[in-house]
């Protein structure tokens, strides 16, 4: 049977993350994988296992999550995404459906991923926090210097032990990761986007990196301290874990050669 690759976007506000969760003594939790798999099974009228590439946490969003399933599909490929969307809630959407290689593994085949963390910052006591996009951005009342944050972000690029940027119970056998690119971009006078692309990320790693860069922007950590923090391998030396709502999975890349820049749109790149 053919294998299909889906590119998925979702507002993670009302989800308990991506991964399906079915407690033994309680009803299943509302997850992106759960509602997507239910929609696909209902559409195709057969049991289908939908496997996702990245296990985003509760409250985390995505515009380029990737999933795959194998099934006998009688619907024309160009209509498949639309047909699935017709059975999905409004906070999740299949952006694209493609045929993939029979051996396509959305988890093991990923070469790099990119996340964006958005921060609204201000020192003005009467500047209101975000309202209409409050679930998509982290708001802090403290002013931050994007230039200092960018200086620090550049020092994160490389291959090294990232344990200082991971929660203690990260559950990984190795904490060595490669950061291909990390940039801080001023979006408005009071808003910045942090984009980070890497070979993979540890549990809460991007939110901790964002917290560390915010501390740099506030002047509480110097850009020159970043190499020392990495070398310490000590979680307490890095910044706080920022809340999930500012985080968005931008893309997952399955191509060859050099990884894309953090601000590219690799989810429109070559098919696996």
DSSP codes joined into one string, 61-128: EEEEEEEEEE----S-HHHHHHHHHTTS-TTEEEEEEEEE-TT--TTTT--EEEEEEEEEE---TT-P
More confident residue, 258 or 6: 6
Which pLDDT belongs to residue 23? 86
Name the β-bridge partners of 5.
68, 98
> Do residue 69 and residue 129 come from a single domain?
no
Q: Are 106 and 5 in contact (CB under 8 A)?
A: yes
Paired tokens of 214: 């915010």
- Mean pLDDT value across the chain: 93
> Do residue 194 and residue 80 come from a single domain?
no
- CA dist., res. 203 & res. 57, Å (int): 9
- CA dist., res. 168 & res. 181, Å (int): 24
> Do residue 94 and residue 116 come from a single domain?
no
pLDDT at 265 over 90: no
Q: Are 98 and 4 in contact (CB under 8 A)?
A: yes
> Do residue 131 and residue 151 come from a single domain?
yes
Place 123 in a pLDDT band, splitting at 50, 70 and 90: low
> Do residue 86 and residue 131 come from a single domain?
no
Look at the block and give the residue holding tokens 């496997």: 51
Look at the block and give the residue holding tokens 């926090």: 129
Q: Is 25 a catalytic residue?
A: no
Mean pLDDT of 224-253: 97
**Catalytic pick among 11, 14, 25, 57:** 57
> Do residue 93 and residue 136 come from a single domain?
no
pLDDT at 272 over 50: no
- CA dist., res. 49 & res. 70, Å (int): 8
For residue 207, give its domain range.
112-268
> Do residue 122 and residue 212 come from a single domain?
yes
């Amino acid at each position: 049977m053919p294998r299909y690759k889906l590119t998925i976007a979702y507002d993670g506000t009302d989800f308990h993350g991506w991964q399906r969760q079915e407690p033994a003594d309680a009803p299943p939790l509302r997850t992106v994988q759960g509602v997507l798999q239910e929609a696909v099974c209902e559409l195709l009228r057969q049991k289908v296992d939908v496997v996702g590439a990245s296990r985003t946490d509760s409250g985390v969003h995505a515009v380029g999550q990737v999933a795959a399933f194998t099934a006998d599909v009688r619907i024309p490929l160009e209509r498949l995404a639309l047909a699935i969307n017709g059975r999905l809630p409004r906070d999740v959407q299949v952006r694209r459906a493609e045929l993939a290689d029979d051996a396509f593994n959305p988890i093991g085949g990923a070469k790099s991923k990119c996340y964006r963390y958005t921060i609204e910052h201000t020192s003005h006591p009467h500047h209101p926090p975000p309202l209409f996009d409050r679930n998509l951005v982290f708001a802090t009342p403290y002013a931050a210097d994007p230039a200092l944050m960018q200086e620090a972000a550049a020092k994160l690029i490389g291959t090294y032990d990232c344990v200082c940027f991971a929660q203690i119970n990260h559950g990984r056998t190795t904490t060595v990761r490669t950061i291909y690119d990390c940039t801080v971009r001023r979006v408005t006078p009071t808003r910045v986007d942090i984009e980070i692309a890497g070979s993979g990320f540890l549990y809460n790693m991007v939110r901790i990196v964002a917290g560390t860069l915010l501390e740099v922007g506030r002047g509480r950590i110097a850009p020159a301290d970043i190499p020392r923090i990495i070398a310490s391998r000590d979680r307490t030396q890095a910044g706080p874990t920022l809340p999930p709502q500012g985080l968005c999975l931008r893309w997952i890349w399955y191509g060859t050669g050099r990884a894309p820049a953090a601000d590219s749109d690799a989810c429109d790149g070559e098919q696996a």
